[in-house]
Structure 1
């Protein structure tokens, strides 16, 4: 299963989570099957299991929307702190499940652990950010 976390840069599993996915400079895509049998600690994780994708959406002067970029990477699950109602709808259209509850103080490793522990909940319209103050 491929998951995606909006991130602040290119440090892979050690990168900080961006608080709002659409404004994240990068998206870190992790193939959980590629991590099987490997510890989330240290840098022993195979590089092919972790990919950093630049956010080239309209928010950054590019083309398209972040959910399109993420879906194009084969992502099945998005983990984030917050996102708008339109993004939730777009992810639904692309068949990507969205789980919320992360904070910007967490790393990608922390986000994966929280997801695996069941500490995040599936996003609903009630979880959608109505203002961009992240």
Structure 2
């Protein structure tokens, strides 16, 4: 990890470091936004997710881009939002579903370098069997 990172974690209300991580990127209640400098949290904020409307998962991608996010940790997502995040230079890190419960665990893991960059073969294929 670089010396500075602006991280987003899909979260359930109310957000923050003690919030539960949402399992669905596009339908999460909000994103907890964490500034990390030299391995330490310097600021925590939240931003409400946008309506999952006609743009589908593209709307949250644009929201995160507009916030200046550099990376996100997910347990899964579709190929289209993953590609869109790459196009706006947001790194996607993968954490096995159910391996993390709270946002703080995601922050600790990213600081320790525990999460790999998500690969295309890890995306959901739209068969209805992938809850992301």
The corresponding residue for 1:107 is 102
Query: Are 1:124 and 2:128 counterparts?
Result: no
Tell whether the 8 Å contact from 1:102 to 1:120 is kept in structure 2 after alignment.
no
Kindly state the Cα deviation for residue 58 of structure 1 after the two structures are TM-superposed.
Answer: 2.5
Q: Match for 2:70 among 53, 73, 76?
A: 76
Q: Which runs of 4+ in 1 moved over 4 A?
A: 59-62
Aligned residue pairs, count: 124
Q: Which ranges of structure 2 fall in alignment gaps of 5 or more residues? A: none
Q: Does 1:91 align with 2:91?
A: no
Conserved 8 A contact 1:22-1:66: yes
TM-score (norm 1): 0.80
Say whether the 8 Å CA contact 2:39–2:111 is kept in structure 1.
Answer: no
Query: C-alpha separation between the residues in 2 aligned to 1:5 and 1:82?
Result: 12
Q: Whole-Å Cα distance in 2 between the matches of residues 15 and 34 of structure 1?
A: 23
Cα RMSD for the two superposed structures: 2.6
